[in-house]
Amino acid sequence: MAHNPGFFVKLRMIVTALLLLVVLTVLCLLTIIISIVTFGKFSTFLTHWVGYALGITALTTAGVRRKIKYHGEKPKDPAIFIINHSSTLDLFIMLTLFLPGIRYIAKRELMYNPFFLILVKFSGQIMINRKDSRGAITQLHQAYKRIRRDRLSLFFAPEGTRSETGEIAPFKSGAFQTAMDLGYPIVPIYIEGAFDLCPGKSLVTLPGTVTVHIYPPIDTSHWNKKNLRKHIDEVREMYLGWANR
């Protein structure tokens, strides 16, 4: 666990933070230029490669290696991708996976960070106000037309926030309701080992290996409002099983 980091771990985190600042500056400039030159047509390219550059920089500099295990075929079609969320590392890991047509649901508070505001706006991510539940749902519904037209995928952490204990918290319904609305399958991704290296909301990271398990899609075509909670609980039970194996 990263509760009592040594000198070299702290030094590594300082170097990581400084390098990320440089990389973010360069990526923001590239994102603006590419988006303007291509009239915003390369948003998926930007999401994949800018995201990968940011994610792999953070992981590599922090000494985190990742293994990817596909428990079935590699995802190719639009889907709702969900993860267990117990570490600051989780988002950096997700950025390196090249999931098909992926878009991230960004909280509106990121507007106060100029780096993330540029990356979110120019790469076509979906920004919502998470403090206003009804407003957030409306904003997401307004994006459905673009999501279907461009065959985009969405990423959710159904626990809502990082688990401070590493245990799988109750799942909120947003990701599953969205999958039902769009007629998309749910693709579960289980991240193993991230909490041990960087627990909860900590920014201090121990070097080590994280394994990303990507499971087969779950069909949602038979889901409805009456059985939605039952299916949500079934998916959570799967995560509990993976966490306790």
**β-bridge mates for residue 106, sequence order:** 127
Tokens representing residue 134 in the block: 């009804």
Q: How confident is the model at residue 183 (pLDDT cuts 50, 70, 90)?
A: very high
In this prediction the pTM is: 0.91
96 or 120: which leads in pLDDT: 96
Tens of pLDDT, residues 195-242: 999 999 888 899 999 999 999 999 999 999 999 999 999 999 999 999
Alpha-carbon gap, residue 157 to 162, rounded angstroms: 9
pLDDT tens sequence across 126-145: 888 777 777 777 888 889 99
For residues 30 and 37, what is the distance between their CA atoms, to the nearest angstrom? 10
pLDDT band per the 50, 70, 90 thresholds, residue 2: very low
Is pLDDT above 80 for 3?
no
Looking at residue 87, what DSSP letter applies? B
Quote the percentage of the chain above a pLDDT of 90: 73
- Tens digit of each residue's pLDDT (9 = 90 or more) over 68-80: 999 999 999 999 9
Confidence class of residue 11 from pLDDT cuts 50, 70 and 90? Answer: confident
Q: What is the DSSP letter of 41?
A: T
- Spatial neighbors of 24 by CB under 8 A, at least 6 apart, are 54, 115, 119
β-strand partners of 68: 212
pLDDT at position 1 over 60 = no
Read off the tokens for 106. Answer: 């960004």
Domains of the chain listed by start with CATH number:
7-243 (3.40.1130)
Residue 176: CB partners within 8 Å, gap ≥ 6?
80, 158, 186, 220, 223, 228, 231, 232, 235
Please give the mean pLDDT across all residues of the chain: 92
Q: What confidence tens digit (pLDDT) does each residue in 75-100 have?
A: 999 999 999 999 999 999 999 999 99
